[in-house]
Amino acid sequence: MLYTLTCILNEAVLIVASNEGITHLYLGESEEALLDQHSGLLKSHARDDKHPLFQQVMEYLDDTTRPIPSLSLSGTPFQELVWSEIRNVSKGETITYSELAERIGRPLAVRAVASACGKNEVSLLIPCHRVVGKNGSISGYRWGVDIKKRLLEREQLAN
């Protein structure tokens, strides 16, 4: 069990992995804040900033056409369905919670879709920041609306 701290797009990032793959990718204002917020999770992990899995994450985030690094997620079948569909939303694009619910064949499950987004433990690898409100408004994001806005702005400028 390993972790590393880094900076991606001017955001502090905590990446945690098990032998099976990436288990957490958290965003925060600073490395110190991430360490404080997740100290319980990190007690059983050793810091390793050079592990190849973390390099794969960085390469994927630079170029999302690369294969996604191995993930080790714990979610319900519904959450995993939502997360899988979110990965089909291209960089620089957005989708509404309603559209996402329709894509997975559950058009009335808009709130459950939003809840599944909030349970995502690997932020940038399952890009829930690309899911927006019905009128295109930027609302709700586990790591804060300001970070969501910055991520979307950067992706749209890069396209």
* Catalytic residue list contains 128: yes
Which is catalytic among the residues 128, 131, 132, 151?
128
Instruction: Fill in the DSSP letter of residue 43.
Output: T
Which candidate, 61, 69, 51, places its Cα nearest to that of 27?
Answer: 61
Rounded Cα distance, 153 and 155, in Å:
6
61-67 contacts at long range (C-beta below 8 A, 24 or more positions apart):
61/8, 61/124, 64/91
Contact status, residue 98 vs residue 134, Cβ threshold 8 Å: yes
- Torsions phi, psi of 75, nearest 5? -145, 165
Q: Which amino acid is at 147?
A: I
Residues annotated as catalytic are 128
